[in-house]
Amino acid sequence: DADVTQTPRNRITKTGKRIMLECSQTKGHDRMYWYRQDPGLGLRLIYYSFDVKDINKGEISDGYSVSRQAQAKFSLSLESAIPNQTALYFCATSIRGPDEQFFGPGTRLTVL
């Protein structure tokens, strides 16, 4: 079983719709992250959470919100989706130290 799972894996929606992307992890990590990747580019940090009571904006948080429901769950919401939010979205987890981030398989979101 995967340690970091994302649902849905693919989603097509229309402009103006509210969308929620979910991330769950079984690694027991406190820190969770949401990234966005546009074609041909690297990943950009949207939001991150260092524990259940902690939420922080990343580089490109406008148009997004997050919820950390539990240590294992971190959701990303697009309140009113727009076409330029069409992208590949990744969730990741880590411990506090300098070790690696573990990434989920990604959610491909298309906003028409």
Partner 1 sequence: DAKTTQPPSMDCAEGRAANLPCNHSTISGNEYVYWYRQIHSQGPQYIIHGLKNNETNEMASLIITEDRKSSTLILPHATLRDTAVYYCIVSSWGDNYGQNFVFGPGTRLSVLP
Task: By CB under 8 A, name the binding residues for partner 1.
Answer: 4, 31, 33, 35, 37, 40-45, 48, 50, 56, 58-59, 88, 90, 92, 94, 96-106, 108
When the beta carbons of 78 and 91 are compared against partner 1, the nearer one is 91
When the beta carbons of 15 and 26 are compared against partner 1, the nearer one is 26
- Compute the least distance from the CB of residue 44 to partner 1, in Å: 7
22: amino acid identity, one letter: E
Both tokens assigned to 4: 């970091």
When the beta carbons of 36 and 111 are compared against partner 1, the nearer one is 36
Give the integer Cα–Cα distance in Å for 65 and 49: 12
- Compute the least distance from the CB of residue 42 to partner 1, in Å: 3
Give the integer Cα–Cα distance in Å for 87 and 81: 12
Q: What are phi and psi of 52, to 5 degrees?
A: -60, -30
- Compute the least distance from the CB of residue 40 to partner 1, in Å: 7
Q: Which of 6, 45, 47 is nearest to 24 (CA)?
A: 6
